[in-house]
Amino acid sequence: MKQFLLIFIGGGIGSFLRFLISKSLNSYFPNFYLGTFLVNIVGCFIIGILIGLTVKNNYLSENQVLLLATGFCGGFTTFSTFALESHILLKEHSIFYMSAYLGLSVMLGIFAIAAGLWLCKLL
């Protein structure tokens, strides 16, 4: 039961922060969804660090990984919103912005995870 509560708390905090960041930044570039883009990339970087620290030397306990990686990062990042916003751009015939949003999100997300893992190797 403790693990469910940790995931619930982490997910709530992550979702709340995602909402605040997306709400404040998405209005700056209405054709790109900057807020969602940034939280997904930052979330990838954070999860890379968390998993890197755990794999390297068991720095985090199982409960801490559940709270931070599964809960917080799971709530903070969002594939469903990313897919919806991509669909909206497609529906609006914003092919350039949709392609940039999709391509950059996937490529930089993978890069951010790798960067987080690499950073942990240096520590």
Annotated binding-site residues for Na(+) read 74, 77
Exposure of 15 in the CB half-sphere (CA atoms within 13 A) = 11
Q: How far apart are CA 86 and CA 80, in angstroms?
A: 10
- Encoded tokens for 73: 């990062």
81 burial level (CB within 10 Å; 0-12, 13-18, 19+): middle
- What residues form the annotated binding site? 74, 77
Taking a C-beta distance cutoff of 8 angstroms, is the pair 22, 49 a contact? Answer: no
